[in-house]
Amino acid sequence: MPTTKVTAAKKTRTVEPKPQSPSMKLPRPDQIKDFLDKYIIGQDEAKKVLSVAVYNHYKRIINNDNLSTTGGDELEKSNIVLLGDTGCGKTYMIKTIAKLLDVPCYIQDCTKITESGYVGSDVEDCLVGLLRACNYNMFKAERGIVILDECDKLAKQEAGPSITRDVGGCGVQQSLLKIVEGDTVGVPPMGGRKHPEQPLLYVNTTNILFIACGAFVGLKEIIEKRLGLGGKIGYCSDGTSQLPQSPLCYATPHDMREFGMIPEFVGRFPVITSVNPLTEDDLMTILVKPKNSLVNQYTRMLSFDKLKLTIQKEALRTIAHYAVRLGTGARGLRSIMETVMMDTMYSAPALESGSAVLITSDIVKERMEKKYGRLD
């Protein structure tokens, strides 16, 4: 009977190489700011602070990753608080930096978060969103950026006649403490409340940069009171402040505590900066200068129909004026442009190829008053 020789396949063990840090090609702070200048108008101080803070954060990661070979002390991270009115570019600046560094970025709406056990989202949802942003690549997620948007809504509620628990304020701040500081957190990848049976993913948040954003309505008055500018004292005859900058530029951890943020939470965000309100001149520049400006977008859309768009300078100023009056900052420019361009975009495709489309100040006023009435 013939015999069959059986040769056992040699088992080989493959060792995956250690992934390289995405911050190895880290641009300098001035290079980060130069990149921001292409997309965001003004806000030089906020851009400078963010550029330095982000640069230091990823330099810290590089240092800590190389401690075994270089020696030295482990560096701790510095999270950021970014204050300012709506529509002034807070989240847009951060998303632009994340785009430059090629790191995942997730915006967590803090108004949805409640304490564990109550209806709403868990604090771990910010990490779930970060994982989704990088297709569940754990290495990238643990070096990403989380924006805690509307963070001011987590302020402690003052005592009142209601005896209900503050499940969306102080309790959420306390729940965020360990995540923000740096901890290994068990995260349900599909959301814990709808799928409680799923296995957890464990995310180390030590190298995740947390940036708390919010308008912090009422904080200006707290700062002015501390500076002795309460009431009419310290103001000019026309009611404007004598401060050379927005009061938010002078915010301190003490002001944040008085606003309603607990000391433990404030202590984990040592970098505090702010954005300034946008002026008419700023809004005019935003309409035309950035690479993805609204005027460029509408010019491009009309070019598909072989039409040339021209918006007069006075028309741009009128649009900026209405944006200031509506109080929605740069975010409101698109709404105004949609209103102004609606009739034009409706009739433009029927025009002869090569025709010119002109938008004047009178056209802007006519279409805005038709939509909103007189705002002056």
Whole-number pLDDT of residue 22: 42
Whole-number pLDDT of residue 63: 82
Number of structural domains in the chain: 2
C-alpha closest to that of 151 among 235, 83, 69: 83
3-state secondary structure of 113: strand
Task: Tally DSSP H helices, then E strands, for the chain.
Answer: 15, 9
Looking at per-residue confidence, does 288 or 122 come out higher? 288
CATH for 213: 3.40.50.300
Query: Does one domain contain both 196 and 217?
Result: yes
Question: Which stretch of 52-61, 151-160, 238-247 has the lowest confidence by average pLDDT?
Answer: 238-247
- 10 Å CB burial of residue 275 (0-12, 13-18, 19+) is buried
Whole-number pLDDT of residue 338: 92
Instruction: Compute the distance between CA of residue 158 and CA of residue 265 in angstroms, rounded to an integer.
Output: 18
In the numeric block, the tokens 């809004």 are attached to 283
Q: At what angle do helices 29-37 and 44-65 cross, to 10 degrees?
A: 140
* Segment 327-352 mean pLDDT: 88
Strand partners, 214: 83
Instruction: Compute the distance between CA of residue 54 and CA of residue 97 in angstroms, rounded to an integer.
Output: 8
Whole-number pLDDT of residue 253: 93
C-alpha closest to that of 206 among 19, 61, 51: 61
The parent domain of residue 174 ranges over 22-274
Contacts (Cβ under 8 Å, ≥6 apart) of 28: 55
SS3 content of the chain, % helix, strand, coil (to 5): 45, 10, 45
Which among 2-11, 50-59, 154-163, 364-373 has the top mean pLDDT?
50-59
* Segment 19-38 mean pLDDT: 78
Structure tokens at 226: 């501390």
In the numeric block, the tokens 């900058």 are attached to 245
120 band by pLDDT with thresholds 50, 70 and 90: low
On the question of pLDDT at 132 being above 70, the answer is: yes
On the question of pLDDT at 9 being above 60, the answer is: no
Question: Which stretch of 14-23, 124-133, 198-207 has the lowest confidence by average pLDDT?
Answer: 14-23
Strand partners, 187: 201
CATH for 320: 1.10.8.60
- Checking 116-119 for CB contacts under 8 A at 24+ apart, the result is 116/175, 118/167
Q: Which of 241, 274, 307 marks a domain boundary?
A: 274
Looking at per-residue confidence, does 312 or 87 come out higher? 312
Query: Does one domain contain both 215 and 340?
Result: no
Encoded amino acid at 163, one letter: I
Instruction: Compute the distance between CA of residue 343 and CA of residue 84 in angstroms, rounded to an integer.
Output: 34
Q: Is the pTM of this model over 0.85?
A: no
Instruction: Compute the distance between CA of residue 367 and CA of residue 271 in angstroms, rounded to an integer.
Output: 44
Query: Does one domain contain both 316 and 269?
Result: no
373 band by pLDDT with thresholds 50, 70 and 90: confident
Contacts (Cβ under 8 Å, ≥6 apart) of 75: 60, 63, 64
Q: Which of 274, 291, 316 marks a domain boundary?
A: 274
3-state secondary structure of 210: strand
Structure tokens at 71: 């020696």
Whole-number pLDDT of residue 188: 82
Domain assignment present for 13: no
Query: Does one domain contain both 105 and 238?
Result: yes
C-alpha closest to that of 38 among 342, 212, 290: 290
Whole-number pLDDT of residue 66: 75
Render pLDDT for 183-197 as a digit per residue (tens, 0 to 9).
898 888 776 555 666
Instruction: Compute the distance between CA of residue 127 and CA of residue 184 in angstroms, rounded to an integer.
Output: 11
Q: What are phi and psi of 3, to 5 degrees?
A: -105, 150
Which among 61-70, 261-270, 329-338 has the top mean pLDDT?
261-270
Write the CA distances from 106 to 127, 147, 187, integer angstroms. 8, 6, 15
Domain assignment present for 4: no
Question: Which stretch of 93-102, 154-163, 328-337 has the lowest confidence by average pLDDT?
Answer: 154-163
Domain assignment present for 376: no
Whole-number pLDDT of residue 316: 94
Whole-number pLDDT of residue 140: 92
Query: Does one domain contain both 311 and 183?
Result: no
